[in-house]
Structure formats: C-alpha cells, structure tokens
C-alpha cells in the first residue's frame, strides 16, 4: 500500500476505535426493549412474575427489571405517585434503556359517568389538569415549552397511533377478570378516551364534572401526562392505560382500596396482549 493511503487508513481506523471507546454504548435496535411503567409496585409486580430471564438493577435508587415476555425484551419499573416521581423514573428509563416505546399502566378515577370501577380507559391522549393560567374564571390550560427545543408542548399529548390501535385490538382478545358487583358479576368495558393528570388525588364529584366538561376527560390520575410529555419531547411512542378504581368522588378513597387488585390485574393482562399483538402480528391469538 502506498504510504499516504496507509496513513489515511490508519487514521480512520484509529478514529473509529477511539469513537467506539468513548461514545455511550449503543444498543442494537433489535434488542431495545419495550418499557412498562406503573405508579405502584403491585401494578408492575404481576408483569414481573411473567418475565423470563428477569434481572434486577438499581439506578439512582430506582429498581428496573429487565427480561422477556415471549421473545420481546421488556424493562419494568414503578415510579411512585405523582408527576415528579413519574418524570424522574421516565428520564432514567429513557437514558439508560432507550426503549422503543413506553406503556404506563395503573388505576385511575373515572370521571365519565358511564365508567364504573373495573372498566379500562385506553388513553387516546393525555393532558395536565393543573397546568396553565388560573384566574377567577378558571384554568386556561396551556403547555410549557420543551426545554430541549423551545417548542411549545401541546395541551394534549397524543398516544402513539400504532400502540393505540394495537391496544384496542388486543382488548377484544383479553380475558379480563369479571367485575364483582352487588347484583353479581359483569364484564369489563374498554373505551378509548382522554386521561388527565395532576398532583392531587381527586375525591370531589364537582372537580370530576369540571374535568369531564373542560378537558373531555374520561379518567383522572397522577402520572400519565408527565410520562407522555417526556416521550413526546424525545420522540418515543407512548401509551397510557388505566383501569378505573373509583369514580373520583366522595367514595373514591374507599373504592380505590376495594377495586385496586382487580384493576391492576386487568391492565397487566392487557399489556401482555398488546406486546403479543405487536410483536407476533395482528392475526395471532
């Protein structure tokens, strides 16, 4: 080889080796996981029990469990309650695991009067109900700008269209636990709707009606839009799935205890079906 050519080849090889050593490890897109988050341990524990090759790791004091559901790599974590807890875990998740998509599962208060404990809301979109300008006339809802791009965030964060469609399809094939009621048992109703997020547990019928009227909310919870905002800003597909545990009214705290376990189980069952539907294709049971 002529000497100038040899020098160029050696330089390029050196630069390549140097950059491979100094750059953050890149994950093969094929092995990048799906992420499933919930606010409480119980919401992800059921899924944890279904993982194969499960491994636990702790980052900044937060536990992440990696493993597989079927052939699909999955990472699970519970965030704790509220927007800041959810944002912190989601940030660590996105940085360390580079998931291809994020699904948030858990319970919510139903503010659509047609929803009862046990029913499921697949969020077509999520919004904060405590962000904007509060004046005597009420809240003028508005998103803040992304710190990364300076672009204003929307009031409503849309669900990833592929995940939304897969969830609606999967819901029809999921064997949900029946909901016990005074007069026997009934089947779970699944709707696509708007889920709103704020840093309060809503136990006020008046507030629930306001959320339904002003934001078109079906359900209220305390984490979904924070996770959706981070995913939106980072271009990661996101879906929020919520099982109704109460009606966000004066009985909400008691109802939540009563229906929590069944609601957590049903949202875990739906996630598994979604993963199977997307990774095996629409025609597989």
The catalytic residue among 43, 116, 119, 221 is: 43
Q: How far is the CB of 222 from ligand ADE (least distance, A)?
A: 5
User: 69 or 215, CB closer to ligand ADE?
Assistant: 215
Smallest distance from ligand ADE to CB 153, Å: 21
Q: Of 160, 246, 249, 255, which is the active-site residue?
A: 246
Residue closest to ligand ADE (Cβ) = 109
160 is catalytic: no
Considering the complex, state which of residue 160 and residue 249 has its C-beta at the smaller distance from ligand ADE.
249
For ligand ADE, the closer of residues 81 and 92 by Cβ is 81
Q: In the annotation, is 43 catalytic? A: yes
- In angstroms, the CA 154 to CA 39 distance is 24
* Closest approach of ligand ADE to the CB of residue 151, in Å: 29
Q: Which residues bind ligand ADE (CB under 6 A)?
A: 107-109, 201-202, 220-222, 245-246, 248, 252, 256
- Nearer to ligand ADE by Cβ, of 166 and 255: the residue is 255
Q: Give the nearest distance from C-beta 210 to ligand ADE in angstroms.
A: 13
> In angstroms, what is the minimal distance from the CB of 193 to ligand ADE?
15
Q: Which is nearer to ligand ADE, 45 or 258 (CB)?
A: 258
Catalytic residue numbers, as ranges: 43, 246
């Amino acid at each position: 080889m002529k000497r100038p050519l040899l020098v160029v080849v050696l330089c390029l090889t050196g630069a390549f080796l140097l950059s491979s050593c100094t750059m953050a490890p890149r994950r093969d897109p094929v092995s990048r996981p799906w992420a499933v988050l919930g606010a409480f341990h119980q919401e992800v524990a059921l899924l944890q029990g279904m993982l194969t090759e499960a491994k636990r790791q702790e980052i900044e004091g937060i536990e992440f469990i990696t493993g597989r559901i079927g052939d699909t790599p999955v990472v699970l974590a519970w965030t704790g309650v509220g927007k800041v807890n959810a944002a912190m875990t989601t940030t660590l998740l996105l940085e360390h695991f580079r998931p291809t998509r994020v699904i948030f599962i858990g319970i919510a208060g139903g503010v659509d009067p047609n929803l009862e404990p046990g029913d499921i809301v697949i969020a077509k979109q999520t919004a904060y109900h405590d962000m904007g300008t509060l004046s005597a006339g009420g809240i003028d809802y508005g998103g803040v700008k992304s710190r990364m791009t300076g672009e204003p965030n929307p009031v409503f964060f849309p669900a990833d269209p592929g995940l939304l469609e897969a969830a609606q399809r999967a819901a029809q094939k999921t064997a949900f636990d029946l909901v016990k009621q005074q007069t026997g048992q009934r089947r779970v109703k699944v709707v696509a709707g708007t889920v709103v997020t704020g840093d309060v547990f809503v136990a006020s019928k008046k507030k629930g009606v306001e959320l339904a009227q002003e934001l078109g909310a079906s359900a209220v919870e305390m984490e979904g839009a924070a996770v959706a905002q981070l995913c939106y800003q980072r271009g990661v597909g996101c879906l929020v799935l919520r099982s109704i545990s109460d009606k966000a009214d004066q009985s909400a705290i008691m109802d939540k205890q009563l229906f929590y376990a069944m609601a957590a189980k049903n949202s875990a069952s739906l996630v598994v079906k979604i993963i199977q539907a997307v990774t095996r294709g629409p025609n597989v049971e």
